[in-house]
A = this chain, B = another copy of it.
Amino acid sequence: MERMNGAVLIGQSGGPTAVINASALGCIEAALACPDICKVYGAAHGIVGVLNDRIYDLTQEDPNELQLMRHTPSSVFGACRYKLADPLVDDTDYLRILDVFTKYNIRYFFYIGGNDSMDTCSKISGFLAEHDYKCNVIGIPKTIDNDLPITDHCPGFGSAAKYVANICMEVCMDTRVYDIGSMTVIEIMGRDAGWLTAASALAKARGLGPDLIYLPEVDFNMMDFLSDVTRVYEKNGDVMVTVSEGIKDKNGTYIASYFTDNTTEKDAFGHPKMGGLATSLANFAKSKINAKVRGIELSLLQRCAVHLASETDIMEAYEVGQKAFEYAFEGVSDKMIGLIRVSNNPYKSETCLIDLVDVANAVKRIPREWINEAGNDLRKDFLDYTSPLIQGDVQMPYKDGLPRFARLKRILTREM
């Protein structure tokens, strides 16, 4: 564990969140403020940028534009979904990474991402250590899915949860506007864990949310679904449902695949028809409920909606990035920064260190006991857990009625 003079490199990976740039900013600002750091670099499209020697020199950016990263969605340096091979099988990429790190004297490497990115981080850390290249490697968590293990929660989740709950409230108001029955199904991201879909329960707790919530944590059964929606519809004359994209039946088959498997179905132009899960489920229920049905897919909107970000989430995302640099500079390596919930009321969190290898490729699901017995609603434990994470309303920088996002110069070192 030692402090080193040298350069910092930051990469972003996987699907973006509303606050992934706030984490990058925390790390960048801490590094820029440190006199022992000669250069701060950003990798274009994550590890792919390292492999291709596409490295941005961040010391040339206008500090005011960097500041705007706090409220800029997507990943400003670009991201990738590139999976490194097992270094014992093929070390080509690792040798290339070692070359590029050596070329730029990278002594601190930060990778912001989810499960897969922590795997990448862990492998790089191990390879560099084995090759006696001194570089402190730290993972910075981000995911709207909130599915990283050990950490109490992940930066990115609170903002997406706030978006989902807010949208459910607005849509719920809208679906009640006519005096005719309606069924609305909202599809929310989450392949393996239902945290984000479950956030719609926050809207329900305000009296304006889904009647039924279906998660990947519980086996989905089409007939139970039909019976659930029919019961609610017959009682209320309306039914609103939220559903994770990743719901599966008891055999582990994605429900979405029920509606897309038949590749012989083509449209007028000979292309396979793609119906969203939400629309498909709504149409399926129409056989029993003769109501106006509508499927809504939140699509990319739920992960880039910085205009509805949680201020708590933004602050934690920034802090996690900042601490990542501080720990690394103190000599810590091969860890991910996690969050510990110190108290829930008033809410207070602290950062902690988690072994990268314990996070890589693992998935944290919602505890079954936080879900009701029927598997279609959340219990108070979940609300108590999630509610503090959506607090604080963002003050977006606007210009003439529209957001003013960071405009970075992104100057490649090789163009200098």
Q: Which residues of A contact B (CB under 8 A)?
A: 15-16, 44-45, 48, 72-75, 78-81, 162, 165-167, 169-171, 173-179, 184, 202-203, 206, 208, 222, 258-259, 261-262, 265-269, 271-276, 279-280, 283-284, 286-287, 294-297, 299-301, 303-308, 310, 387, 390-393, 396, 398, 400-403, 405
For the complex, give the distance between the alpha carbons of A57 and B26 in Å: 54
Q: How distant is A209 from chain B, measured CB to nearest CB, in Å? A: 10
The reply to whether B173 and A72 contact each other, CB–CB distance below 8 Å, is: yes
Q: A171-B300, A262-B267 are in contact. Are A75 and B275 (CB under 8 A)?
A: no
Among B171, B265, B392, the residue within 8 A (CB) of A301 is B171
Residues in B neighbouring A202, C-beta threshold 8 A: 402
The reply to whether A169 and B403 contact each other, CB–CB distance below 8 Å, is: yes
The reply to whether B170 and A305 contact each other, CB–CB distance below 8 Å, is: yes
Residues in B neighbouring A166, C-beta threshold 8 A: 307, 402-403
The reply to whether A174 and B296 contact each other, CB–CB distance below 8 Å, is: no
The reply to whether A162 and B45 contact each other, CB–CB distance below 8 Å, is: no
The reply to whether B301 and A170 contact each other, CB–CB distance below 8 Å, is: yes
The reply to whether A267 and B276 contact each other, CB–CB distance below 8 Å, is: no
Q: How distant is A306 from chain B, measured CB to nearest CB, in Å? A: 7
Residues in B neighbouring A398, C-beta threshold 8 A: 393
Among B45, B304, B390, B393, the residue within 8 A (CB) of A179 is B45
Among B79, B261, B294, the residue within 8 A (CB) of A299 is B294
For the complex, give the distance between the alpha carbons of A279 and B307 in Å: 25
The reply to whether A178 and B402 contact each other, CB–CB distance below 8 Å, is: no
For the complex, give the distance between the alpha carbons of A15 and B177 in Å: 8
**Inter-chain pairs besides A165-B401, A169-B405, A393-B398, 9 sampled, C-beta below 8 Å:** A74-B176, A184-B300, A259-B268, A269-B287, A273-B275, A273-B280, A273-B283, A275-B275, A310-B401
Residues in B neighbouring A268, C-beta threshold 8 A: 258-259, 261-262
Q: How distant is A346 from chain B, measured CB to nearest CB, in Å? A: 13
Among B184, B283, B401, the residue within 8 A (CB) of A392 is B401
The reply to whether B208 and A405 contact each other, CB–CB distance below 8 Å, is: yes
Chain B residue with minimal CB distance to A208? B405
The reply to whether B405 and A387 contact each other, CB–CB distance below 8 Å, is: no
Among B44, B276, B396, B405, the residue within 8 A (CB) of A393 is B396
Chain B residue with minimal CB distance to A284? B269
Q: A173-B74, A275-B275 are in contact. Are A48 and B179 (CB under 8 A)?
A: yes
Chain B residue with minimal CB distance to A167? B301
For the complex, give the distance between the alpha carbons of A351 and B342 in Å: 56
For the complex, give the distance between the alpha carbons of A396 and B274 in Å: 37
